[in-house]
Structure 1
Amino acid sequence: MSQFLSYLLILSFFFFINSLGTNSRPLLAICEPHLCGNVNISYPFWVRNEIASDQQYYCGYKGFGVMCLDGEAVLELPGDRYYVKDINYADYTLTLVDIDITTNQTCPRARQNVSLETLPLKYSSVDLNLSFYFNCTSYAPTVPSIQCLNIGSYRSYVFVENNETEGFDWSKNCEEKVVVTVRQTQINMDNLTGGFGGAMNDGFVLDWERVKDWAMNDGFVLDWESVKDCGPCERSEGYCGYNATAEEFLCFCNDGSTHSNSCKGPPSRTKKLKLIRGVAASGVGVLLTCIIIFWFRSKRSIIKSTKFWTKKTKNEHDLEAFIRKYGPLALNRYKFLEIKKMTNSFRDKLGQGGFGGVYKGKLLDGRPVAVKVLNESKGNGEEFINEVASISRTSHVNIVTLLGFCLEGQKRALIYEFMPNGSLEKFIQDGNLEKTNSHLGWEKLFQIAIRIARGLEYLHRGCNTRILHFDIKPHNILLDEDFCPKISDFGLAKLCIRNESNISMTGTRGTIGYIAPEVFSRNFGGVSHKSDVYSYGMMILEMAGGRNNIDVGVS
């Protein structure tokens, strides 16, 4: 009993001390400059792997968190990820490379369309925008096509933006337009079609906007759409950071204090608030101790049967094991209360499956998302781990983007980009080919089939780790606003070595009507990536015939 009371008193004391601001000490080590590959990461950039995306403090501007994945620095801009080739702190410039070009550096398929939105970044004066047009059905006069990107009778073109050929309707004759930014000094203006690959490999340059110290001294309010100068803080042997709650610049100092400009200046507003909160917290701690003592005396028998320490769930142990094996996840982790807030308490339901429900939500930046909430009683969480582990390692235009996840005890949720046109399944009408054609048209169905194949090829050959999906079917193909298909639902997926032909697998996984024979029975042969190809073929038959493969009435 006395040991228990002593523990509570010590806990209350540390609760008070911690509230005074000592939590900035651990940040000092994290906020030191880091080297990822050949890229030096320091203020206003910071290492995102080591700091939770939902915490109060950052080691730099909140949108400049750089992930270090397999020795490569990666920056996530709204909509896509980019390799960081160089950060020039003298010129305030950032050189990025499209992450997709690593699969084909000689003739990459451009997917850039960079969106800077509210970040304090702007294109450099050395940049040049190129217009790419893909899958063009007609020949463009005087503009040579990109031979390595031509597919059959379809042509692809590239030229300097706004320098389009007169009399040729690009939007009518071509399926897709992508604007790609490159450094003007690296592009051969006389041979764009032959030199665009090398120029994309050299990347493009962005400038970050900077607020001078004198702007603060003259009484101007700091707008974090621009990045504050870190010089005074670093010269006082501090490390620059940012308080997301108070929306203010901070200088973390060796004594554990935080200041508004440098370690020699007055304490920050956050420090004063912490002092007030600390006094209140100590009072709450003493009150809490008294309540627990009273409860302990009156309910001693109940205490004996109660576990004071909550053990980690099997899901959390499995997730930690995956991180140790493959490295940190480049995903945001949310609390369940945040999930409820972004879905408005699960008000707008998009669909229901055996795993649970899917709800429409909205992130803090306004982006719409689809939130899949898994049933707490559904299995042991293996499908959840599979989905987080596999899709977090992908980046492709035909693979749905996983933006984050929630794992809080038995509560599990996955946050995806929102696909306004839903699944392909609803555009395939049973036994009514004519109605299917009127919905999308044969050309659109053909393009959807081609793009699904590209996404599947990326999973099998484009990733460092081969991903087998095992559940390719129309229900798991989602369509964006332009009816561009994206493969989703990786709950049955399996990771394997790229050069591995057959894989060992216990049990059967997939949906009846799409499962390859060898997955159902090993008597038909070994399970490999070809099993996904079989499911893809069954889905194509369903798209062409306009009927459901699992309809028992179909002969």
Structure 2
Amino acid sequence: MAHPLRLLVFVFLVVHASPLPLSTYDDSMCSESFRCGDVDIAYPFFLSNATQVSPDYTSNYSCGYTDLKIFCEGEGNAMAPILHLGGDRYTIVNISYDKHTFILGDTDVLRGNNCPRVSHDVSLGQAWLGYTDSLSSLAFFFDCYDAGEVLPPDLKDHQINCTGFSGDGVSFVFVAGYEERNVSQKYDLAGHCNHSFVVPVHEDPLLGSGQQLMLPAEYGGVLKKGFELEWNQGAEQVCNLCEQSDGRCSYSENKQFLGCLCTGGKVGVQDCNGGGATPASAEPSSSKFS
């Protein structure tokens, strides 16, 4: 028979393993919308400082989807909305709330010269986010071939040699796909280059009158156009009910649904119409793109 004290500890851990639902919130914290740079930010996006510790909860609650936290950075004309993906910084260029899509670009690339050097892949592990059908990709191979090594003629058409590009050795860019795989395998670019990255881009800049733009000369312009993501509305049924009642879904930092934020600082258990059971603490369902 289990010791009574051990049983009590077990019950305590089970009860407190999931966050408690909210009972009230500060509605002045969750603004309907705000302007950051040239972009209007509204739910399900929310400002990074629009999170707060509830009296009945031990961690922050959000005013929107956890993955859509915006850091409004800079001053004056330099102000811009920043979104973090996998620890990397991206600038939101435009949001289409009707289509549930937004365009963003690598912040360092957007602020750099016309020959930017990317430094990471894109990490898209968020539950709410996925790529749209506009997706294409560029594959980069940086700092390749030591001095004295002969550069294969097939690679010269892909060599980055524009003014302002920095790096050791030679570097290449391809439209990711069949040709890129064949060339990189043929010449073992992974073995000849110190760094390689594949980054998403919008396919439109790569198409002009049915012809590809001139790469590598125009790769910087393609990167600066950014790429498009979409968010899945109401990843949980309980969030759907909340949004249908004109409420806003609130989540914990680890993506657990806490309640439906309604007008006047009121919190619905699952909607703003007064119905529903205790909010589920399960993580939102995975995106179809992940």
TM-score by length of 1: 0.39
Q: Map 1:41-190; keep pairs closer than 5 Å.
A: 41-52=41-52, 55-70=59-74, 71-137=79-145, 138-143=150-155, 144=157, 145-148=159-162, 154-162=169-177, 163-164=179-180, 165=183, 167-187=186-206, 189-190=212-213
User: After superposition, what is the alpha-carbon deviation per residue over 1:308-354, rounded to whole angstroms, capped at 9, x for unaligned?
Assistant: xxxxxxxxxxxxxxxxxxxxxxxxxxxxxxxxxxxxxxxxxxxxxxx
Query: 1:82, 1:150 → 2: CA distance?
Result: 21
**Is residue 2:212 matched to residue 1:197?**
no
Instruction: Report deviation, 1:47.
Output: 0.5
Change (3 A) 1:158 1:66: same
Instruction: Report deviation, 1:153.
Output: 7.4
Change (3 A) 1:197 1:158: same
Q: What one-letter code is carried by the residue in structure 2 that aligns with 1:201?
A: K
Instruction: Report deviation, 1:159.
Output: 0.6
Instruction: Report deviation, 1:101.
Output: 1.4
Q: What one-letter code is carried by the residue in structure 2 that aligns with 1:209?
A: N
Instruction: Report deviation, 1:157.
Output: 0.6
Q: What one-letter code is carried by the residue in structure 1 that aligns with 2:220?
A: G
Change (3 A) 1:50 1:139: same
Query: 2:28, 2:248 → 1: CA distance?
Result: 7
SS at 2:114's partner residue? Answer: coil
Instruction: Report deviation, 1:108.
Output: 0.6
* 8 Å contact kept, 1:260–1:267: yes
Change (3 A) 1:107 1:21: closer
Aligned to 1:449: none
Query: 1:240, 1:152 → 2: CA distance?
Result: 46
The partner residue of 1:241 within 230, 243, 250 is 250
* 8 Å contact kept, 1:233–1:240: no
User: After superposition, what is the alpha-carbon deviation per residue over 1:361-416, rounded to whole angstroms, capped at 9, x for unaligned?
Assistant: xxxxxxxxxxxxxxxxxxxxxxxxxxxxxxxxxxxxxxxxxxxxxxxxxxxxxxxx
Change (3 A) 1:243 1:175: closer
Query: 1:229, 1:191 → 2: CA distance?
Result: 49
* 8 Å contact kept, 1:139–1:155: no
Instruction: Report deviation, 1:243.
Output: 4.9
Q: Map 1:351-500; keep pairs closer than 5 Å.
A: none
SS at 2:108's partner residue? Answer: helix
* 8 Å contact kept, 1:28–1:239: no
Aligned to 1:259: 268
Asked which structure has the greater CA Rg, the reply is: 1
**Is residue 2:230 matched to residue 1:207?**
yes
Change (3 A) 1:253 1:150: closer
Change (3 A) 1:232 1:150: closer
Instruction: Report deviation, 1:22.
Output: 6.7
Q: What one-letter code is carried by the residue in structure 2 that aligns with 1:254?
A: T
Query: 2:234, 2:23 → 1: CA distance?
Result: 28
Query: 2:228, 2:35 → 1: CA distance?
Result: 20
User: After superposition, what is the alpha-carbon deviation per residue over 1:255-286, rounded to whole angstroms, capped at 9, x for unaligned?
Assistant: 4321144322326626xxxxxxxxxxxxxxxx
Query: 1:57, 1:32 → 2: CA distance?
Result: 16
Q: What one-letter code is carried by the residue in structure 2 that aligns with 1:66?
A: I
Change (3 A) 1:230 1:129: farther
Aligned-residue RMSD, C-alpha? 3.1
Query: 2:226, 2:88 → 1: CA distance?
Result: 15
Aligned to 2:18: none
Instruction: Report deviation, 1:229.
Output: 7.3
Query: 1:181, 1:136 → 2: CA distance?
Result: 22
Change (3 A) 1:81 1:133: same
SS at 1:142's partner residue? Answer: helix
Aligned to 1:512: none
Q: Give the paired residue count.
A: 237
Query: 1:253, 1:33 → 2: CA distance?
Result: 15
Q: What one-letter code is carried by the residue in structure 2 that aligns with 1:193?
A: P
After TM superposition, what 4+ stretches of structure 1 lie above 3 angstroms from structure 2?
Answer: 20-23, 52-56, 149-153, 227-231, 243-246
Bigger fraction of residues in helix: 1
The partner residue of 1:232 within 240, 244, 249 is 244
Bigger fraction of residues in strand: 2
% identical equivalent positions: 29
Aligned to 1:352: none
